[in-house]
Amino acid sequence: MRAPTSRERRGLNVLIGIAATGGLLASGALAMAEDPRALDVQLSSAMRETGTTLKGWERQLSRGLQVSLRAVADGRDTPPAAHPVAIATPVVLTAPAIQASR
């Protein structure tokens, strides 16, 4: 048996991508058809969920960048090993309070 060529692998990857996209579209269409709410309510709900997901990703990315920057500032080549729970926990940074002098 011979190994598949680059062209054959690319073709297979394209077919897998098309099948995955079709599955997602079909799943979304079925979910919309079974939902008794109006279309505009469904779409606004989907947009809210998408926004929540993107905010979560942004927090994770921000946390990863903070850890990497701290590691670089400390002179290490790699960030310290973190506990998996610590990565998922969002970190809230606040600006220092500035008091006006009288």
pLDDT at position 62: 93
Closest to 80 measured CA to CA, from 96, 69, 89? 69
pLDDT band at 80 (very low <50, low <70, confident <90, very high): low
pLDDT over 70 percentage in the chain: 73
How far apart are the C-alpha atoms of 85 and 92, rounded to whole Å? Answer: 16
User: What is the domain partition of the chain in residue ranges?
Assistant: 10-76
- Integer CA distances (angstroms), 18 to 14, 24, 27, in order: 6, 10, 14
pLDDT at position 61: 92
| Exposure letters 25-50 (e unless 16+ CB within 10 A, then b) | eeeeeeeeeeeeeeeeeeeeeeeeee
Using a cut of 0.75, tell me whether the model's pTM lies above it.
Answer: no
Closest to 32 measured CA to CA, from 22, 21, 42? 42
